[in-house]
Amino acid sequence: MKTVNLKVKRFDPATRKSKFQDYQVEVDDSAAVLDAIIEVREYQDETLAVRCSCRSAICGSCAMRVNGHAKLACMTKVSSVSPNGETIVVEPLGNAEPVKDLVADMGPFWAKVKQVQPWLKPSLPAPDREYIAPQEAMQDLVGAVNCIMCGACVSDCTVLEVDKNFIGPAALAKAYRFVGDPRETQTARDERLSQLSKYGGIWDCTHCYECVQVCPKDVAPMERILDIRRAAVAAGFRDNNGTRHSDSFARSVKHTGSLDEFRLLPESLGLDDIAAQLKFVPTALRAIAKGKVPSPLHHKRPGAEHVTRIFDEMEKE
């Protein structure tokens, strides 16, 4: 047995205020964080709210922040987050409103999942039992299919912290499950890719990698987002800020050996989109005032021809 010090973030729905509360419990050496929380709820404080069901890393309902990162509390061993008896800080999922204590409101999470229309739109006539897909075609989707909809990735997504319009890693990983399905019609696939290329979709991810690190099922949502980007570009959906941004980035690195930051924003917005350019004038003025505007003088770096050669080789492939 060992003593666990828990610092739990509690939220009172009546006052809408949060505060941390400390608990100390005795648990088995092999206990998970969820076991410690349940021990508190059962024997010390029955007012502590926590959501859980399977206790086997299957249902996804016990996702919460443990020491600042989203985890499934039932598969997180106390010994892994508190090897020397350190206090374990437990909070509800991030990027979600708390309902009570460790229970977060998952309503917006499910709304985003519904937004990507998570169902197959097949072209073949309805079969007697089920649509069959070749095994090799489905191999690529296994990662995305493993998602248990726990919300850990959404909790720690850095873009959702600042832009609630972003569809988010879980829903986009779910979208990939259908974009990559060979039974989907071409029209439905194109419609998906067109929708996902808009503001709030695939191009808003900043590749911070956080969702990959916290996902307990190795879905690697960021990789799935990159898969959808590749599919969208290959299908010709190039008229968006994300594709222009990546083109501008690649162009300047290819020709000069480094990134021309001065051109990046205007080229990403589209040089002919005057309205979009004008919207950024106040931001540009603030950046100038703070001395944060990159230099317009962008010179070719020594050895840039080697970078150009690498690009040429890759483009040939």
**Residues forming the site for ligand FES (CB under 6 A):** 52-55, 57-62, 72, 74
Q: Does 157 bind ligand SF4 (CB under 6 A)?
A: yes
Nearer to ligand SF4 by Cβ, of 81 and 148: the residue is 148
Q: Does 170 bind ligand SF4 (CB under 6 A)?
A: yes
Token pair 């988010």 is found at: 168
Min CB(154)–ligand SF4 separation in Å = 6
In which element (H, E) is residue 5 found? strand 2-12
Min CB(210)–ligand SF4 separation in Å = 4
What's the burial of 115, exposed, middle or buried (CB within 10 Å: 0-12/13-18/19+)? Answer: middle
Indicate the pairing of strand 88-91 with strand 2-12.
parallel
Q: Does 211 bind ligand SF4 (CB under 6 A)?
A: yes
96-to-65, 91, 200, 256, 265 alpha-carbon distances in Å: 12, 11, 17, 43, 31
Q: Which residues are registered as beta bridge partners of 70? A: 65
Integer-rounded Cα radius of gyration of the chain: 24
Q: Does 37 bind ligand SF4 (CB under 6 A)?
A: no
Q: Which residues contact 201 (CB under 8 A, 6 or more apart)?
A: 167, 172, 195
3-state secondary structure of 58: coil
Q: Does 32 bind ligand SF4 (CB under 6 A)?
A: no
The string over 134-156, giving b where at least 16 C-beta atoms fall within 10 Å of a residue's C-beta and e elsewhere, is: eeeeeeebebbeebbbbbbbbbb
Nearer to ligand SF4 by Cβ, of 54 and 285: the residue is 54
Binding partner at 158 among ligand FES, ligand SF4, none, C-beta below 5 to 8 Å by kind: ligand SF4
Among 10, 100, 217, 229, contact with ligand SF4 (rule: CB under 6 A): 217
Q: Does 222 bind ligand SF4 (CB under 6 A)?
A: yes
Nearer to ligand FES by Cβ, of 72 and 205: the residue is 72
Min CB(172)–ligand SF4 separation in Å = 7
Q: Does 149 bind ligand SF4 (CB under 6 A)?
A: yes
Binding partner at 31 among ligand FES, ligand SF4, none, C-beta below 5 to 8 Å by kind: none
Q: Does 221 bind ligand SF4 (CB under 6 A)?
A: yes
Site for ligand SF4 (CB under 6 A): how many residues? Answer: 26
Sheet strands side by side (includes 63-66): 17-27, 2-12, 88-91, 63-66, 69-72
Q: Which residues are registered as beta bridge partners of 2? A: 27
Binding partner at 207 among ligand SF4, ligand FES, none, C-beta below 5 to 8 Å by kind: ligand SF4
- State the DSSP code for 183: T
Rounded Cα distance, 90 and 101, in Å: 10
Distance of alpha carbon 299 from the chain centroid: 36
Nearer to ligand FES by Cβ, of 30 and 53: the residue is 53
CB 59 within 8 A of CB 92: no
Nearer to ligand FES by Cβ, of 55 and 251: the residue is 55
Binding partner at 61 among ligand FES, ligand SF4, none, C-beta below 5 to 8 Å by kind: ligand FES
Binding partner at 58 among ligand SF4, ligand FES, none, C-beta below 5 to 8 Å by kind: ligand FES
Min CB(208)–ligand FES separation in Å = 24
Catalog residues that contact ligand SF4 under the rule CB under 6 A.
Answer: 147-153, 157-159, 169-170, 173, 205-211, 215, 217, 219, 221-222, 225
